[in-house]
């Protein structure tokens, strides 16, 4: 039965192969803006996704509360110890904030790199594929979400908006290290006040740590220091927590330091996200 | 009336499976992904496979292309991957359908082969466009094995409901 390919079949096959590569190329280079047809499709699907994810979330919450009840006592002990240090830090913080406001007024600064507002959203679905870690949230361009905004969940930065539709958007997590467009510009502020800049450019899946590269400095970095965003890239404001330093080594060529960062956000259990809208204008 | 039922029911079932894929991946993420394994729920693929065995060729092909495109657009944002591969798998199933008697076991075995084919092709494409650095052996052990396991269980759970739904849609007493 399979004697030889007829001409028609061959032509159809060839055209589909060409179309396949064309589609692939177009969607890889398009960098986030989709045409209106796709946006409508994504939104309609997102509506269905929302309907299903709300009961699923509620169910997970119930299970989690039951779990929490079981370790309440230990958590209580631990939290009591942490509260004492919090009071101190709060007092320091309010004094510093006041000073900051006064100085800003003096210099007549409008919007600095740290000003931002948040848009909170809920997660509706996640890419089941997991080749590219993406999470779909239920806020879109109508709520003010724009391409490239940073997204935080839990206590830390988890990703960046990679696609925007009218009522839903896709967040690409920083655990997908796409060398072309998923780098995070970061900094570490040591106790002495030195600011060390670097770029978070890779993710080590086995240990779950981010890798910060391109640190050309003589300052010694130690485990436990906090890594935050530096605000020097377009859309991310300054001082969003990324994680804490775990290990400091030299890179392959011995020219710069390489820091392994334990992320503060949880990449596996993401349910509610805050999308960060920076107030300062950027040059793009 | 029969005509509408026949086209609408598979469409809606596949849509439900499609949404469940995403919800499942996000609600059970901690269970699906561990230190060195990652299970991918492929509910949509199981549904598509079942329908390509039972439904006429054109309808199954349209469903495959539609849901392939939807999957690409909604979940990954890179068009063309699942569109092409779902169509390819349905085409292959049509070719193989003539040689085997269809029941739970044989469909399951063909399903395992097709799922392996799909996962391998997608992995090769992602390696080709440089979005993953997972090695071939890492892929086999960490993703393919656990995925086949998870979806084998799903397949057995979904087979009889899907059978009932298709019988309902086609309104003939097909004893398969």
Estimate the crossing angle of helix B145-170 against helix B104-128, to 10 degrees.
Answer: 120
Terminal alpha carbon distance of chain A: 60
Give the pair of three-digit tokens for residue A66. Answer: 């039951």
Q: Closest Cα of chain A to B97: distance in Å?
A: 14
Cβ pair A159, A174 in contact under 8 A: yes
User: B112: Cβ–Cβ under 8 A, 6 or more apart, which residues?
Assistant: B148, B152
Residue B36, domain extent: 3-52+101-175
| Structural domain contains residue B63 | no
Looking at every residue in chain A, the average pLDDT score rounds to 83
Confirm or reject contact between B20 and chain A (CB < 8 A).
Answer: yes
Q: Closest Cα of chain B to A55: distance in Å?
A: 10
Give which of A203, A263, A183 is closest to B133, Cα–Cα. A203
Q: How confident is the model at residue A112 (pLDDT cuts 50, 70, 90)?
A: low
Q: Are B25 and A124 within 8 A, CB to CB?
A: no
Q: How confident is the model at residue B174 (pLDDT cuts 50, 70, 90)?
A: very low
Of A23, A28, A125, nearest to B129 by CB-CB distance is A28
**pLDDT tens-digit readout, B78-91:** 888 899 999 999 99
Q: Are A178 and B131 within 8 A, CB to CB?
A: yes
**pLDDT at position B176, please?**
47
| Structural domain contains residue B57 | no
Q: What is the mean pLDDT of residues A102-122?
A: 78
| Structural domain contains residue B139 | yes
Q: Using the Cα atoms of residue A272, residue A260, residue B75 and residue B141 in order, give the sign of their dihedral.
A: negative
Beta strands in A13-133 (DSSP E): 116-126
**pLDDT at position A181, please?**
65
CA A101, distance to chain mean position in Å, is 29
The ipTM is: 0.84
**pLDDT at position B175, please?**
46
Of B27, B79, B84, nearest to A56 by CB-CB distance is B27
Q: Are B73 and A57 within 8 A, CB to CB?
A: no
pTM of the model: 0.83
CA angle B166, B157, A47 (to 5 degrees): 70
Cβ pair B53, B90 in contact under 8 A: no
Pair type for strands A272-278 and A238-250: unpaired
| Structural domain contains residue B58 | no
Domains: count for chain B: 1
Only one residue has tokens 């949404």, namely: B19
Q: What is the mean pLDDT of residues A185-191?
A: 83
| Structural domain contains residue B167 | yes
Give which of B29, B81, B147, B131 is closest to A123, Cα–Cα. B29
**pLDDT at position B115, please?**
94
Confirm or reject contact between B103 and chain A (CB < 8 A).
Answer: no
Q: How many C-beta neighbours within 10 Å does residue A256 have?
A: 14
Contacts of B38 in chain A (CB under 8 A): 130
Interface test with A, best of B12, B23, B87 (most A CBs within 10 A): B23
| Structural domain contains residue B161 | yes
| Structural domain contains residue B126 | yes
For residue A60, how many C-alpha atoms fall within 13 Å in the half-sphere facing its CB? 17
Exposure string (b/e) for A31-59, b if CB count within 10 Å is 16 or more?
Answer: ebebeeebbebbbebbebbbebbeebbee
Q: How many C-beta neighbours within 10 Å does residue B52 have?
A: 24
Cβ pair B27, A128 in contact under 8 A: no
């Amino acid at each position: 039965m399979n004697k030889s390919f007829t001409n028609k079949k061959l032509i159809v096959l060839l055209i589909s192969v060409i179309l396949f590569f064309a589609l692939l190329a177009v969607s890889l280079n398009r960098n986030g803006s989709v045409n209106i047809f796709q946006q409508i499709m994504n939104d309609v699907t997102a509506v269905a996704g929302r309907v299903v994810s709300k009961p699923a979330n509620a169910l997970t919450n119930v299970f989690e509360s039951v779990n929490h009840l079981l370790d309440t006592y230990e958590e209580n002990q631990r939290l009591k110890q942490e509260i004492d240090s919090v009071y101190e830090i709060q007092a320091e913080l309010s004094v510093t904030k006041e000073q900051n406001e006064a100085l800003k007024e003096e210099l007549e600064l409008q919007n600095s790199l740290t000003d931002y507002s948040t848009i909170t959203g809920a997660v509706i679905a996640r890419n089941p594929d997991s080749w590219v870690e993406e999470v779909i949230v239920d806020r879109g361009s109508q709520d003010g979400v724009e391409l490239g905004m940073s997204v935080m969940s839990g206590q830390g930065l988890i990703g960046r908006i990679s696609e925007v539709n009218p009522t839903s958007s896709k967040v690409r997590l920083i655990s997908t290290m796409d060398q072309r467009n998923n780098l995070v510009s970061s900094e570490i502020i040591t106790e002495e006040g030195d600011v060390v800049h670097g770029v978070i450019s890779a993710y080590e899946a086995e240990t779950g740590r981010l890798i910060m590269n391109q640190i050309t400095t003589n300052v010694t970095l130690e485990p436990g220091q906090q890594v935050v965003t530096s605000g020097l890239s377009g859309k991310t404001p300054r001082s969003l927590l990324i994680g804490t330093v775990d290990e400091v080594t030299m890179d392959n060529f011995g020219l710069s330091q390489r820091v392994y960062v334990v992320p503060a956000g949880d990449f596996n259990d993401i349910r509610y996200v805050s999308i960060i809208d920076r107030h300062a204008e950027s040059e793009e | 009336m029969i005509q509408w039922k026949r086209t609408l029911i598979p469409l809606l079932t596949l849509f439900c499976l499609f949404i469940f894929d995403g919800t499942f991946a996000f609600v059970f993420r901690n269970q699906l992904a561990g230190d060195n394994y990652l299970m991918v729920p492929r509910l949509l693929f199981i549904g598509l496979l079942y329908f390509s065995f039972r439904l006429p060729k054109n309808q199954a092909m349209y469903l495959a292309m539609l849901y392939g495109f939807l999957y690409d657009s909604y979940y990954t944002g890179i068009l063309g991957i699942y569109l092409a591969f779902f169509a390819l798998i349905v085409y292959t199933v049509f070719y193989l359908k003539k040689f085997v008697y269809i029941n739970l076991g044989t469909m399951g075995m063909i399903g395992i082969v097709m799922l392996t084919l799909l996962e391998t092709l997608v992995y090769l494409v992602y390696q080709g466009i440089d979005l993953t650095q997972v090695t071939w052996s890492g892929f086999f052990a960490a993703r393919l094995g656990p995925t086949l396991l998870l979806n084998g269980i799903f397949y057995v759970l979904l087979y009889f409901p899907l059978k009932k739904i298709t019988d309902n849609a086609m309104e003939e007493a097909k004893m398969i």
